[in-house]
Chain A
Amino acid sequence: MKDWRYWLAEQRGTLLAFAIFIVMFAIYSGNHPAGFTANVVQTAANKGVLLAFVAMAQTLVVITAGIDLSVGMIFTLTNCMASWLVIGTGLETAFGLVAVLGTGLVCGAINGAIVIYGRLQPIVATIATGAVYFGLALLLRPVPGGSVNEDVADFLTGRFFGVVPASLMALFVVVLVVWVPFRRSELGRAAYAAGSSETAAYMSGVPIRRGKFLAYTLAGLLAAIGGLFLTFFTYTGEAAYASGNAYTLFSIAAVVLGGVSLFGGKGSAIGAIFGALAFRTIGDLLFVFDFDPLWQPLFQGIILLIAVSLGAFALFRVRNRLEWFL
């Protein structure tokens, strides 16, 4: 009966991010010299998907009411690793893929272990581990270089049937294989519960620690998938400090745009994906309109501010001021 209303209320953040993205992308492709073509979509998808993976990673941790400031550095580290390992014969490439993804899992698991069992604040723990991951990346690639199995790279960054960007399909598959099972699993629910109210979750006998640990670990995996795709796009590895940090910050921006509550317990990785795509499109709009690239950070910042304020509109509907604090 009224079920759809509850569904709508739950998906509001995701739908809003979707709407923002559609509007942005319509403006973008409408003003692009080449128009809405498969090429334009593919290029946009390839750029957007990188941030989408990192934003998904951030979402998992934010749901537990934590934050992961090392996602950008895991992304960078795995990019450097992939530029060494994901190459050669089919078997060697496959081994490389497993090693890269495994590294992501281990990085995430280390974050989780420190936060959950070491009882350190997530923000402090992940700044420190992020520095370590970047240090490793720098050892692997003191200067940019390396290469990647180009057959695999071209397959995963090209188009299926001439129209569908392969990177978007890969993102879809990852959502199906990683996010959906997480969302539907008992441990995934435990992560949400812990983020919403850790005491209540404990009192209810929820496996809080395992849920949070899984969230951190999968976040590492998702960041590594992002790093892998970066390698596929660029064919090289680079321990770029600024880029790693930018991805961390943008992932938080994408998560907020995507309707995921930084207080934890609420939101979806799907929303964060649209948040990431929208955020990327905003940057691209400037090129379409021939702005000086120097303006890009400022412009992105302003758009982000507006988006976050939109999210805060809910507050204006609160009649009783006390509800702000509860």
Chain B
Amino acid sequence: MNGAAPLFRMEGISKRYGGVRALEKADLTVAAGSIHAILGENGAGKSTLIKVMAGVVAPDEGSMTLDGREVTFASPAAANQAGIVCIFQELSLIPELSVADNIVISDPPKRFGMIDRKAQRRLAEQALARAGAADIHPLALIKDLPLSRRQMVEIAKALARKPRILILDEATSALTAADVAKVFEVLKRLRQEGLALLYISHRMNEISELADQCTVFRNGRNVASYRAGSKSDNEVVELMIGREYSHIFPPKPTRPQTLSAPVLDARNLSWSDRLDNISLSVAAGEVVGLGGLDGQGQRELLLAFFGVLRGLSGQILVDGKPVSIASPAAASDDRIGMALIPEDRKTEGLMLPMTVRENLSFAALDRLSKAGVIDRAAEQRLIDDMVELLAIKTAGLDIPVGALSGGNQQKVVIAKWLMRQPRIILLNDPTRGIDVGTKQELYQLMRKLADAGAAILFYSTDYDELIGCCDRVLVLYDGAIKRELVGADITEHALIASALNIHGGSERAEQGEGA
């Protein structure tokens, strides 16, 4: 099958958004029965490329051929018809409809012109089973499911459309490790069934496990195509960022034995059934990681500190003094000086239609105002500092944040909170879906802030990050801290073993060793 003519080919595809060139004469060839990984930084053109393939945007020039015949897609529906189905990074599920409704949404089974609910239910159950997510009830509403379950529904929905080419755009970023393993099995089976799969991910170990063929994109064009496994990770990253790739992670300082007094303390925090008797402390200048499988209470813990949860029991101390943090406003008040960098920048961190300037100054307006009037000059100074500190790439401060790339949006979120010069910084998986270059900048920033005396609590689903960035890592399981890893003990093996609440090895640990 591999020697046959390519199933799908894109030639000379270009696309501009205003003055920005998203794609510049890009080519891609996809073969049936293979998994093709697309690599590249955010803004390299991957998203635009698949949007063109999936009929979401029309290219300015270039041609696409499917089975040797030239095709154009006027809408996502047209691309679906031709057998190209995309699982988008931004979930395409409809929150108020049920799982079954969503799975068959593009082409529901009909009897006498009306939707046949029994057939729909059957199709949904089959699709869920095929995606390895039979535990999801077809009648549940999407809005009641957690993010990782929704992602599985998204995959089931794509499979129900009987695709010939399946595009996965960061489709595993929200999944738990157990789900990732299931999805991989599904993908390998689909490859065997002769589908062409396009796989876009920032996780190198996933790519090295799955892909047959890799194509690297940079600045809107494909810069290299190679057989999977024929290049080292370092070579690949160099291709992606187009420059010499040194160490991603900044060096950790060697700690003196006697740390400064803890800035943030938690004693016996419990909340509902999600947090179970958690005690921890973070000192000034320290980066403390929160590890473990996704959804073990890490997010809730950060929200608890930030005054979002009601009915929290236990005690929070700042500078050794008990405080009661009743709301995010109280948490970010200067007396406590806390900042939370949220995970979902679109809903929690930014007001997308508003300008960069407005978004940046929101969190610090009270500091910038005198008698209720905003000091424009002070605002400008502070914003300039932040844009420079974080190297935010923007065409101007007065364009909507929504127009920036994902990585730059995330930088704006961070800058927004840094405007208050917080002493305690909580980070909730801040690098999800962000390119390597931006990640690297964020790691360095985090260390810089710690060196300047901030206490940092950092939740990440990426083990490499925890290993590379943290002085200590607390591993959560089922809402409780199961293990504390310090210094050289923070290894991938230890993290995974304690995340699974076992003390031996694990499959994922072996996979991870290549990364």
Give chain A residues whose Cβ lies under 8 Å from the Cβ of B106.
Answer: 204-206
| A196 beta carbon closer than 8 Å to chain B | yes
| A3 beta carbon closer than 8 Å to chain B | yes
B347 to chain A: closest residue by CB: A326
Give chain B residues whose Cβ lies under 8 Å from the Cβ of A192.
Answer: 94, 96-97
Q: Flag if A189 contacts B309 (CB, 8 Å).
A: no
Q: Flag if B108 contacts A203 (CB, 8 Å).
A: no
Question: In the docked arrangement, what's the CA distance between A204 and B102, Å?
Answer: 9
Q: Flag if A6 contacts B139 (CB, 8 Å).
A: yes
- How far apart are B303's CB and chain A's nearest CB, in angstroms? 7
A sample of 5 more A-B contacts (CB under 8 A), given A193-B97, A203-B88, A205-B76, is A7-B139, A184-B114, A203-B92, A319-B311, A322-B303
B310 interface neighbour in A181, A184, A319, A325, Cβ under 8 Å: A319
The 3 closest A-B pairs by CB, nearest first: A205-B77, A265-B96, A6-B139
Q: Which positions 181-196 of chain A face chain B at CB distance < 8 Å? A: 181, 184-186, 189, 192-193, 195-196
| B105 beta carbon closer than 8 Å to chain A | yes
Give chain A residues whose Cβ lies under 8 Å from the Cβ of B311.
Answer: 319
Give residues in B with beta carbon < 8 Å to A. 56, 75-77, 80, 88, 90-98, 101-102, 105-106, 108, 110, 113-115, 117, 137, 139-141, 157, 272, 300, 303, 308-311, 347-348
Q: Which positions 254-270 of chain A face chain B at CB distance < 8 Å? A: 261, 264-266
Q: Flag if A2 contacts B303 (CB, 8 Å).
A: no
Tell me the count of chain A residues lying within 8 A, CB to CB, of chain B: 35
- How far apart are B71's CB and chain A's nearest CB, in angstroms? 16
Give chain B residues whose Cβ lies under 8 Å from the Cβ of A6.
Answer: 98, 137, 139-141
Question: In the docked arrangement, what's the CA distance between A204 and B101, Å?
Answer: 12
Give chain B residues whose Cβ lies under 8 Å from the Cβ of A3.
Answer: 139
Q: Flag if A319 contacts B141 (CB, 8 Å).
A: no
| A116 beta carbon closer than 8 Å to chain B | no
Q: Flag if B105 contacts A189 (CB, 8 Å).
A: yes
Question: In the docked arrangement, what's the CA distance between A207 and B80, Å?
Answer: 13
Q: Which positions 278-326 of chain A face chain B at CB distance < 8 Å? A: 319-322, 325-326
Give chain B residues whose Cβ lies under 8 Å from the Cβ of A2.
Answer: 137
Give chain B residues whose Cβ lies under 8 Å from the Cβ of A265.
Answer: 94-97
Q: Which positions 164-202 of chain A face chain B at CB distance < 8 Å? A: 181, 184-186, 189, 192-193, 195-197, 199-202
B115 interface neighbour in A9, A10, A184, A325, Cβ under 8 Å: A184
Q: Flag if B272 contacts A319 (CB, 8 Å).
A: yes
- CB contact under 8 A between A196 and B94, given known A204-B105, A319-B309: yes
Question: In the docked arrangement, what's the CA distance between A164 and B76, Å?
Answer: 50
Give chain A residues whose Cβ lies under 8 Å from the Cβ of B139.
Answer: 3, 6-7
- CB contact under 8 A between A325 and B91, given known A9-B141, A204-B76: no
Give residues in A with beta carbon < 8 Å to B. 2-3, 6-7, 9-10, 181, 184-186, 189, 192-193, 195-197, 199-207, 261, 264-266, 319-322, 325-326
Give chain B residues whose Cβ lies under 8 Å from the Cβ of A9.
Answer: 141
B113 to chain A: closest residue by CB: A185
Give chain A residues whose Cβ lies under 8 Å from the Cβ of B348.
Answer: 322, 325
Q: Flag if B108 contacts A186 (CB, 8 Å).
A: yes
Give chain B residues whose Cβ lies under 8 Å from the Cβ of A205.
Answer: 75-77, 80, 105-106
B348 to chain A: closest residue by CB: A322
B303 interface neighbour in A193, A195, A196, A320, Cβ under 8 Å: A320
Pairs across A and B, CB under 8 Å, 13 listed: A3-B139, A181-B114, A189-B97, A189-B108, A193-B97, A197-B93, A200-B92, A265-B96, A319-B309, A319-B310, A319-B311, A320-B310, A321-B310
Q: Flag if B114 contacts A203 (CB, 8 Å).
A: no
Q: Flag if A196 contacts B115 (CB, 8 Å).
A: no
Give chain B residues whose Cβ lies under 8 Å from the Cβ of A7.
Answer: 139
Give chain B residues whose Cβ lies under 8 Å from the Cβ of A325.
Answer: 347-348
Give chain A residues whose Cβ lies under 8 Å from the Cβ of B105.
Answer: 189, 193, 201, 204-206
Give chain A residues whose Cβ lies under 8 Å from the Cβ of B91.
Answer: 200
A318 to chain B: closest residue by CB: B310
Give chain A residues whose Cβ lies under 8 Å from the Cβ of B77.
Answer: 205, 207
- How far apart are A199's CB and chain B's nearest CB, in angstroms? 8
A320 to chain B: closest residue by CB: B309
B94 interface neighbour in A197, A319, A321, Cβ under 8 Å: A197
Q: Flag if B308 contacts A204 (CB, 8 Å).
A: no
Question: In the docked arrangement, what's the CA distance between A320 and B328, Å?
Answer: 12
- How far apart are B144's CB and chain A's nearest CB, in angstroms? 8
A2 to chain B: closest residue by CB: B137
Question: In the docked arrangement, what's the CA distance between A322 and B302, Å?
Answer: 13
Q: Flag if B303 contacts A202 (CB, 8 Å).
A: no
Q: Flag if B309 contacts A202 (CB, 8 Å).
A: no
A205 to chain B: closest residue by CB: B77
Give chain A residues whose Cβ lies under 8 Å from the Cβ of B141.
Answer: 6, 9-10
A185 to chain B: closest residue by CB: B114
Taking each of A6, A196, A200, which has the highest tally of chain B beta carbons within 10 Å of its own beta carbon?
A200
Q: Flag if A200 contacts B94 (CB, 8 Å).
A: yes
Question: In the docked arrangement, what's the CA distance between A2 and B140, Å?
Answer: 10
Q: Flag if B308 contacts A320 (CB, 8 Å).
A: yes
Give chain B residues whose Cβ lies under 8 Å from the Cβ of A186.
Answer: 108, 110, 115
Q: Flag if A322 contacts B308 (CB, 8 Å).
A: yes
Give chain A residues whose Cβ lies under 8 Å from the Cβ of B117.
Answer: 184
B98 to chain A: closest residue by CB: A6
A180 to chain B: closest residue by CB: B114
Q: Flag if B308 contacts A321 (CB, 8 Å).
A: yes
Q: Flag if B137 contacts A201 (CB, 8 Å).
A: no
- How far apart are B149's CB and chain A's nearest CB, in angstroms? 15
A267 to chain B: closest residue by CB: B96
Give chain A residues whose Cβ lies under 8 Å from the Cβ of B157.
Answer: 204
Question: In the docked arrangement, what's the CA distance between A326 and B349, Å?
Answer: 12
Q: Flag if B115 contacts A185 (CB, 8 Å).
A: yes
Give chain A residues whose Cβ lies under 8 Å from the Cβ of B95.
Answer: 196-197, 200, 265
